[in-house]
């Protein structure tokens, strides 16, 4: 039996949940003798280390507007179709919406590959995104049933898609994997910004892009209230984004600039998570947030917004952490007080988190991916 030629298609390999999953897939399967794995990026941008055997094909070196990306879909799909034919690609596994469109549209240009598309966030977000949102919904409703398999990274994401359209193709839920071995071997190593964690301080940490959908301001507002009566508290943000300067200026206006730290994108977030006392995620929308799993993996208590998909599944309501309604700062503060000042057993939290994380162990999850390749 000949080796199977598999192409992974994704917009870029810059920081993000889908990109991290792809990096783990490549690390796991790039040396598999039965699988010839290749990587194609729609645009340049690589933040994750790739195996030496992987030489990514990059279709564009320039950044483009959302409208231009949509206009160029037929041309990019033709490029993919040409590559599939010339390289005898058997399966194209795509991640994120634009790559999914390109994957399916390549069939219209004569490609005969198996199309496996991955959805990483709730499709219903496009209902509130104006003209571009309507165009995306049109493409989703007219293309997705032409794929061979739709993989969602949570039941919530799967159900959300099915609430918007009648799905006639095969679907499957495969959760995001967590590389526990890597996390445990790196959580005590500082590879990035040197920061002195003080024993008389308690650190609250947030990890993710600094963009409106992540609602980072909610955490600064909640922190501002709590630190008025607790000089030991400090707040760390890992990540970059369009709101970074705005959030820095807000912390200055609130006279919190000595207590709120912005470290930007880091190679090894696990070091800072492991040194912190509480992880908080404030997102308005998620698919299946890797960072919530990673915070649990290092053993710290977690609080998350109860957004449409992901956190409630991961935490099984509040068995493994705390949830609060999106944007409700008052309840967020109450949950923070429970963790910071309540009578909770942190060793029991570590034990429970360790048990839960095993459900997302990389070997288990990547075997599920292998079965559908």
Domain segments of the chain as ranges? 4-174, 181-360
**Residue pair 305/331 in contact by the 8 Å Cβ criterion:** no
DSSP code of 320?
S
Residue 33: pLDDT band by 50, 70, 90 thresholds? low
Can you give the pTM of this predicted structure? 0.85
Per 3-state DSSP, the chain is made up of helix, strand and coil in percentages (nearest 5) of 45, 20, 35
What is the rounded CA–CA span in Å between residue 266 and residue 245?
Answer: 18
Percent of the chain past pLDDT 90, that is, above it, reads 72
CB 294 within 8 A of CB 271: no
pLDDT-derived band at 102 (thresholds 50, 70, 90) equals very high
* pLDDT for the residue numbered 1: 55
The reported pLDDT for the residue numbered 86 is 96
How far, in Å, CA of 6 to CA of 112, rounded?
13
Q: How far is CA 16 from the centre of its chain?
A: 5
Burial group, residue 305, by CB count within 10 angstroms (0-12, 13-18, 19+): buried
What pLDDT is attached to residue 64? Answer: 79
Q: What is the pLDDT of residues 285-331, one digit of tens each?
A: 888 898 999 999 999 999 999 998 889 999 998 999 999 999 999 99
pLDDT of residue 371: 85
Q: Which long-range contacts (CB under 8 A, 24 or more apart) does 332-338 make?
A: 332/218, 332/219, 332/222, 332/280, 332/282, 332/303, 332/305, 333/222, 333/225, 333/226, 335/303, 336/204, 336/222, 336/226, 336/278, 336/280, 336/303, 337/226
Angle between helices 97-105 and 130-143 (to 10 degrees): 40
pLDDT tens sequence across 220-247:
999 999 999 999 999 999 999 999 999 9
Q: Do domains 4-174 and 181-360 have the same CATH topology?
A: yes
For residues 230 and 302, the answer to whether their CB atoms sit within 8 Å is: no
pLDDT above 90: residue 346 = no
Domain 4-174 is found in CATH 3.40.50.300: no
Fold designation for 181-360: Rossmann fold (3.40.50)
- Tokens read off for 282: 């404030």
Across the chain, mean pLDDT equals 93
């Amino acid at each position: 039996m000949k080796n199977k030629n598999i192409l992974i298609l994704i917009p870029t390999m810059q920081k993000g949940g889908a990109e991290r999953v792809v990096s783990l897939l490549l690390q796991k399967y790039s040396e598999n003798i039965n699988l010839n794995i290749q990587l194609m990026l729609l645009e340049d941008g690589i933040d994750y280390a790739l195996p030496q055997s992987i030489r990514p094909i990059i279709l564009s070196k320039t950044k483009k507007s959302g409208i231009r990306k949509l206009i160029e879909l037929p041309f990019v799909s033709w490029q993919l179709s040409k590559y599939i034919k010339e390289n005898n690609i058997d399966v194209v596994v795509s991640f994120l919406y634009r790559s999914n469109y390109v994957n399916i549209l390549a069939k219209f240009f004569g490609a005969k590959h198996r199309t496996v598309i991955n959805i990483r966030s709730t499709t219903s977000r496009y209902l509130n995104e104006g003209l571009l949102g309507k165009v995306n919904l049109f493409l989703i409703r007219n293309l997705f049933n032409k794929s061979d398999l739709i993989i969602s990274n949570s039941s919530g994401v799967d159900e959300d898609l099915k609430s918007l359209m009648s799905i006639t193709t095969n679907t499957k839920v495969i959760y995001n994997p967590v590389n526990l071995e890597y996390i445990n071997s790196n959580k005590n190593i500082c590879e990035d910004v040197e920061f002195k964690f003080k024993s008389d301080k308690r650190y609250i940490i947030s990890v993710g892009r600094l963009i409106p959908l992540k609602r980072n301001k909610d955490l600064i507002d909640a922190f501002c209230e709590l630190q008025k009566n607790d000089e030991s508290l400090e707040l760390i943000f890992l990540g970059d984004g369009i709101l970074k300067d705005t959030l820095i200026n807000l912390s200055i206006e609130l006279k919190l600039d000595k207590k709120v730290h912005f470290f930007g994108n880091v190679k090894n977030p696990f070091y800072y998570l492991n040194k912190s006392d509480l992880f908080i995620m404030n997102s308005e929308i998620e698919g299946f947030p890797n960072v919530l799993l990673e915070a649990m993996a290092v053993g710290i208590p977690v609080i998350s917004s109860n957004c449409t998909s992901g956190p409630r599944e991961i935490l099984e309501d509040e068995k493994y952490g705390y949830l609060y309604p999106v944007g409700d700062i008052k309840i967020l503060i109450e949950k923070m007080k429970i963790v910071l000042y309540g009578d909770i057993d942190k060793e029991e939290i570590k034990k429970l988190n360790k048990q839960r994380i095993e459900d997302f162990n990389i070997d288990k999850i990547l075997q599920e991916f292998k079965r559908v390749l």
